[in-house]
């Protein structure tokens, strides 16, 4: 299955605050917030939604094609992604700008306050999909993750025109986009990824009801935090999948991206939606146990053992036959 993953590539600055953000918020003064948090730690890691998604798919044995605009400082990051199974040969390298920068502070309750500077990502609007597909072949699935909004809309339009199945993942760009832009992005998507808050925000901005949003896509996947994930499809009963038990809650950054990695890998393997969600949830569990979005490690046997413990022997059997070219075992 030929999969293109469009979206951001960035450098993550991950900070930890040894308290709760809510303790510093005054309900009567939220319209005039001016706060500074003294943090305990700073970790600089590789990140970006598209890179995180592609990395997870790569270590599961797929060879996703990364579609992104990056900075002139990308060389070491490119080597890392290539080594973990990602095709980076079609990224657009800016001649003047640096790779995007993401800064996030996480409190003890795993709440986060973040800022994102696009840098080279702003040039993603200059990426043309057709020349890439002329070299790689037409995509079986195009993942449109958070990116320059103009690029996201162009990619979804091309996918509809050429009848390419696409997964819409507006995520962090939901706040930036208006209702009409959100409609243009998600309408006709084969898969729509949202969390609960993003679903409510999409409804508010578009004026569409929950049912109307579901009606304009084939499958909607709504992540529910610690409650797992709900998969909805017209004419079918919702599927609920719980999370795999984590060993520790270290940092939540990137868990949504890794969930998408596993879910889409499951699609590529021909698994049903329940198995796809289980695979994504297992990968997300590894991410929350580590600092950084691409720092998790496991062997094939360890992964399958934990997967069996979480979802049963039958589920593990369905997944095991596909974990042949496994990135971390090499």
The tokens for 162 are: 């050429």
The residue among 305, 262, 296, 297 whose CA lies nearest residue 282 is 262
* CA angle, residues 55, 92, 130, in degrees to nearest 5: 95
C-alpha–C-alpha distance, residues 250 and 287, integer Å? 9
CB 9 within 8 A of CB 48: yes
- The active-site residue, picked from 12, 169, 257, 318, is 257
Query: Is 264:3 a contact under the CB 8 Å cutoff?
Result: yes
Question: Which residue in this structure is represented by tokens 């060993």?
Answer: 247
CA–CA separation, 84 vs 81, rounded Å?
5
Check: CB of residue 167 under 8 Å from CB of residue 141. Answer: yes
Q: Are 116 and 100 in contact (CB under 8 A)?
A: yes
Give the C-alpha separation, 147 to 145, whole Å. 6
> Largest alpha-carbon pair distance within the chain?
57
Other Cβ atoms closer than 10 A to 235: 4
Q: How far apart are CA 10 and CA 8, in angstroms?
A: 6
User: How far is residue 271's CA from residue 7's CA, in Å, rounded to a whole number?
Assistant: 25
DSSP at 125: G
Extract the tokens encoding 59: 């270590």
Contact present, 3 and 260 (Cβ < 8 Å):
no
Residue reference for tokens 């698994």: 271
257 is catalytic: yes
Residues noted as catalytic: 257
């Amino acid at each position: 299955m030929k999969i293109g993953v469009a979206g951001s590539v960035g450098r993550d600055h991950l900070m930890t605050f040894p308290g709760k953000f809510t303790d510093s918020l005054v309900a009567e003064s939220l319209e005039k917030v001016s706060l500074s948090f003294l943090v305990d730690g700073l970790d600089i890691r590789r990140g970006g939604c598209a890179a995180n998604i592609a990395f997870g798919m790569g270590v599961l044995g797929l060879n996703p094609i990364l579609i992104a605009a990056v900075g002139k400082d990308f060389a070491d990051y490119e080597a890392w992604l290539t080594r973990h199974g990602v095709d980076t040969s079609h990224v657009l390298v800016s001649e003047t700008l640096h790779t995007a920068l993401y800064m996030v502070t996480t409190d003890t309750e795993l709440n986060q306050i973040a800022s994102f500077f696009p840098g080279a990502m702003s040039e993603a609007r200059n990426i043309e999909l057709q020349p890439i597909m002329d070299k790689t072949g037409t995509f079986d699935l195009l993942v449109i993750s958070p990116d320059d909004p103009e690029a996201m809309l162009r990619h979804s339009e091309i996918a509809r025109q050429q009848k390419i199945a696409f997964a819409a993942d507006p995520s962090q760009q939901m706040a930036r986009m208006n209702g009409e832009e959100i409609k243009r992005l998600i309408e006709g998507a084969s898969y729509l990824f949202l969390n609960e808050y993003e679903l409510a925000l999409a409804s508010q901005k578009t004026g569409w009801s929950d049912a109307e949003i579901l009606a304009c896509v084939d499958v909607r996947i709504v992540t529910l935090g610690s409650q797992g994930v709900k998969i909805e499809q017209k004419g079918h009963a919702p599927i609920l999948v719980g999370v795999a038990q984590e060993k520790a809650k270290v940092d939540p950054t990137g868990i949504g991206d890794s969930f998408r990695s596993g879910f889409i890998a499951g699609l590529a393997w021909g698994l049903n939606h329940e198995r796809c969600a289980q695979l994504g949830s297992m990968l997300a569990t590894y991410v929350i146990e580590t600092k950084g979005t691409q720092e998790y490690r496991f062997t094939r046997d360890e992964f399958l053992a934990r997967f069996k413990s979480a979802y049963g022997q039958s589920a593990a059997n369905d997944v095991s036959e596909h974990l042949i070219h496994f990135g971390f075992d090499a």
